[in-house]
Structure 1
Amino acid sequence: MKYKHIAVEGNIGAGKTTLTKFLSSILDASTLLEEFEENKFLKAFYNTGEFAFQSEIQFLLDRSKQLNEFYKKNHSLIISDYYVNKSLIFSKINLNEYEFQLLKNLHGHLFGVLPPPDLLIFLDRSLDVLFANIMRRNRPYEKNMDLNYLKKLDHYYENWLEGLDIPIIRIDAETIDFNRPDYLTKKFKQLLNLDFPSTQRTVKLAIS
């Protein structure tokens, strides 16, 4: 495997954790999952709209601790269901300008020395499907999720992707059928052997 760290990204409800677990199982990789359930401020933010700054700070601290512990160990391959730079997307939307600049500085201090992922897999889904997935998983603190919020995140994710300087595979997540594990295993192993031309950093495709 030519990669040491593969990050799976996408909007809320895109299926990041499900794909991360699948890839980790077929590639015998170490799994790094976001511990959002531990962030008590997140639930308060979703329920009341307050504590956005505290929530983002907590995410930064949790991710910093988690990544530093992982990088201290000799993992041959890490697959994570997030890329730490996503903090700047959510912070830009949820915080005022003063809070955002403070968080951005802290982000640079905590993660500036850590290498970026070798590959980013980005899952594309329609807003309607994202919203349906969120409602289906029925997390109490997400019950007030707003479709406009997902739309805003979608827009910021697009801008964020354009600024990344790492290989990106964008996948239509609706074409991923986990009921066909053997086929998926074959397809993903082929994908992960792709060579990226120096002039092309992003590949868009469907799995089926």
Structure 2
Amino acid sequence: MKYNFITIEGNIGAGKTTLANLLAKHFDARLILEEFADNPFLPKFYENPGQYAFPLELFFMAERFKQLKDLIQQKDMFQQVTISDYLFTKCLLFAKVNLPGDEYRLYQRLFEIIHQQLVQPDILIYLHAPVNKLQENIKKRARPYEQKIPDNYLQNIQDTYTRYIKQHPVKTLVVDASNADFLYNPLHMQTIIDALDKDYEDGQHYLQLP
């Protein structure tokens, strides 16, 4: 394995956690999964975004920081690879969409203080799927508070991710996940595994699933 710390990202419903679980099993890796269910503000946010966006994003940032700091800094001689289903910068990307200007600027200051304390991933896998595919996946997993997420919100998140990836020299595999089925299509899974056996320059590298 060429990469010790692999992060998987994508929009809501893109399939991040499924892929992270499968890769962790394949590589016998440590797995870091976002504990979104523990955020008490999440259902409230979808009902009233204006009131609950700031505490929602603060809670997520605190929990992600604690999780990454604890797990990345633990030395495990039997598991050399770590796989996460989120990038810490996700905090800032979602905050940019969800918070008004003054709250976002305060949030950004806090983020910059915390961010520099964390280890950055060796490679990012970004799952890109169209909004209709995201909505299909969201309906399948049937989390009640997600069922009314509007298309334009998902598109805003998508656009924010795209701008970030284009503007930052993160070593990134951009995967067309329009028809991805990592759980039941072995060729899709094998394509990702094979891609992780190669060296890449910093920046974007596009990957098509068979």
Give the structure-1-normalised TM-score: 0.93
Structure 2 match to 1:64: 65
Deviations 1:6-63 (A, max 9, x none): 1000111100000000100101101000010000111110122221000000001001
Structure 1 residue 177, shift from structure 2 partner: 4.3
Q: Kindly indicate whether the alpha-carbon contact (under 8 Å) linking 2:72 and 2:119 is maintained by their aligned counterparts in 1.
A: no
CA RMSD of aligned residues (A): 1.5
Q: CA deviation at 1:98?
A: 1.1
Query: How far apart in 2 are the matches of 1:142 and 1:83?
Result: 21
2:104 corresponds in structure 1 to 100
1:9 alignment counterpart: 9
- Tell me the equivalent position of 2:205: 203
Where does 1:1-208 land on structure 2 (aligned, <5 Å)?
1-49=1-49, 50-75=51-76, 76-173=80-177, 174-181=179-186, 183-184=187-188, 186-197=190-201, 201-208=203-210
TM superposition outliers: structure 1 runs of 4+ over 4 Å: none
The answer to whether the 8 A contact 1:169-1:203 is kept is yes
Question: AA paired with 1:172?
Answer: D
Deviation of 1:205 after TM superposition, in Å, equals 1.5
Amino acid across the alignment from 2:62: L
Superposition deviation, residue 184 in structure 1: 4.6
**Are 1:135 and 1:143, in contact at CA under 8 Å, matched by a contact in 2?**
yes
Structure 1 132/187 Cα, relative in aligned 2: closer, same or farther at 3 Å? Answer: closer
Change (3 A) 1:11 1:185: closer
Distance change in 2, residues 1:8/1:128 (3 Å)? same
- Are the aligned partners of 2:180 and 2:188 in contact in 1 as well (CA < 8 Å)? no
Structure 1's unaligned 5+ residue stretches are none
Cα deviation per residue 1:57-95 (whole Å; 9 max; x = unaligned)? 000100111011102211411101000101111111111
Percent identity between matched residues is: 35
Secondary structure in 2 aligned to 1:51? helix
- Cα contact 1:176–1:207 (8 A) shared by 2: no
1:58 maps to amino acid? F
2 CA distance for matches of 1:101 and 1:16? Answer: 28
Q: State how many pairs are aligned.
A: 205
